Structure 1
């Protein structure tokens, strides 16, 4: 594994993990009032496009990061829609 791949995997891990506190808070409190529907809709769509891009070029760090981030962002977006 190259240093560039390791940097990509570390970046993927850190940016993906950053969504866990919001997801956990949303699950516990069921409060999504401070979350912007527009921002999360755009963000989730962007992450989905990054995932499609990563799959198309077979780039594991991009695929891994965006697969997990898409799942977490989709969950938060779903909770926002449910508890709106």
Structure 2
């Protein structure tokens, strides 16, 4: 039962990033997003992933793998727009 609770929590918090990632990919706009927040978040998620791997905890491994992808996509666009100029194609 504990693992089920962990998997449900992991799904909810992980897929919460999907709408933001889809929106950023569609609009290419990141003007209101903080590069510092996304950088620290991606590093934190990668550390949680490492922690989950070390524990062999499937909920931590799956959730943080997917979250790293979604947050990484957003972070990529945040960095791209800050380095190469903001694209606001809404």
Q: CA deviation at 1:7?
A: 0.2
Q: Which of 20, 27, 30 is 2:28 aligned to? A: 30
| Alignment RMSD (CA, Å) | 0.5
Aligned residues: 82
Distance 1:50 1:25 in 2: 25
- The residue number in structure 2 matching 1:50 is 48
Structure 2 residue runs of 5 or longer lacking an equivalent are 83-90
| CA shift digits 1:4-34 (9 cap, x unpaired) | 0000000000001100110011011000011
Question: 1:1-84 maps to which residues of 2 (within 5 A)?
Answer: 3-84=1-82
* Runs of 4+ with >6 A deviation: none
Structure 1 residue runs of 5 or longer lacking an equivalent are none
Q: CA deviation at 1:42?
A: 0.4
SS in 2 for 1:83: helix
TM-score for the superposition, normalised by structure 1: 0.95
